[in-house]
Amino acid sequence: MIDAIGPARLALIVAFSLLGLFFTFVSMTGVIRLPDVYSRAHTASQADTLGAGFTLAAVALAAGWQGVGFKSVLLVFFIFVTNPTAAHAIARAAFEAGIVPWTEGDERR
Q: Which residues bind another protein (CB under 8 A)?
A: 22-23, 26, 29-30, 33-36, 38-39, 41-43, 45-47, 49-50, 70-71, 74, 80-81, 83-85, 87-88, 91-92, 94-98, 100-108
Between the two ends of the chain, the Cα-to-Cα distance in Å is: 49
| Type of residue found at 42 | H
Closer to another protein by Cβ: residue 12 or 71: 71
**Closest among 54, 10, 12, 46 to 27, alpha carbons compared:** 46
Nearer Cβ to another protein (5/101)? 101
Residue whose CB is less far from another protein, 6 or 105: 105
Distances (CA, A) of 103 to 4, 7, 43, 55: 53, 49, 17, 34
Q: How far is the CB of 80 from another protein (least distance, A)?
A: 7
R_g over Cα of the chain: 18
Min dist. Cβ of residue 18 to another protein (A):
14
